[in-house]
Chain A
Amino acid sequence: DTGVSQDPRHKITKRGQNVTFRCDPISEHNRLYWYRQTLGQGPEFLTYFQNEAQLEKSRLLSDRFSAERPKGSFSTLEIQRTEQGDSAMYLCASSLGASGSTDTQYFGPGTRLTVL
């Protein structure tokens, strides 16, 4: 499968624990995005990268959240001291980052986080 991949697909944790998710974008895609989706809602933007540079963080991203893309390829999203309100589907997307008219954001399958 050459699409965006995410690991793990499901994560159940206890409140207060730290969790880390990984996203592998489509090869040669320079831009990588993290979104969060709760039940019955559309995805909400969290943060995005151009290669290894983090370009923007949403106000939704509290200090407990940190994202990295150290080599400009895969990215990790870490949530420290998880809370029940963090339970959601965490979606990753990638795009070429080119200015051409055919570029688009492709989504991964998501990591479903349940905080007990």
Chain B
Amino acid sequence: GENVEQHPSTLSVQEGDSAVIKCTYSDSASNYFPWYKQELGKRPQLIIDIRSNVGEKKDQRIAVTLNKTAKHFSLHITETQPEDSAVYFCAASRTRNTPLVFGKGTRLSVIA
């Protein structure tokens, strides 16, 4: 089955700096790669996603890149703000509507 590895497990950055979180996956049949943000005590919320027919996607300060050959994808957050502090999870699945396999999460702390 699919296995998703996520690094780093914790990340601290100064406000205004960029943050990068990386994930690798094992199943070449995976075609959908979402990123979720989870604040303490709250539900995971989708922040951006990418499908395998696209190499990069951007939404304001957030971007995701995908290298399907190497089976890895990354989340980039620019101009970080304190409210970006949360746990971020990458995930992989075959389609948008099939079960997600999540990484273990990255705890991002943005220091003001």
* Interface residues in chain A, defined as those with a beta carbon under 8 Å from any beta carbon in chain B: 4, 31, 33, 35, 40-45, 48, 56, 58, 91, 95-99, 101, 103-110
Contacts and interface: CB of A to CB of B under 8 A. Distances in A.
Nearest to A97: B97
Contacts of A4: 43
Nearest to A4: B43
B43 A42 contact: no
B63 interface: no
Interface residues of B, number: 23
Interface of B: 4, 6, 34, 36, 42-46, 49, 51, 89, 91, 95-97, 99-105
A7 B18 CA distance: 38
Contacts of A48: 99
A42 B51 CA distance: 21
Main secondary structure of the interface of A (DSSP, over half): loop
A43 B100 contact: yes
Contacts of B36: 107
Contact of B44 (A40, A43, A95): A43
Contact of B102 (A40, A44, A96, A99): A44
A4 B44 CA distance: 12
Contact of A109 (B42, B99, B105): B42
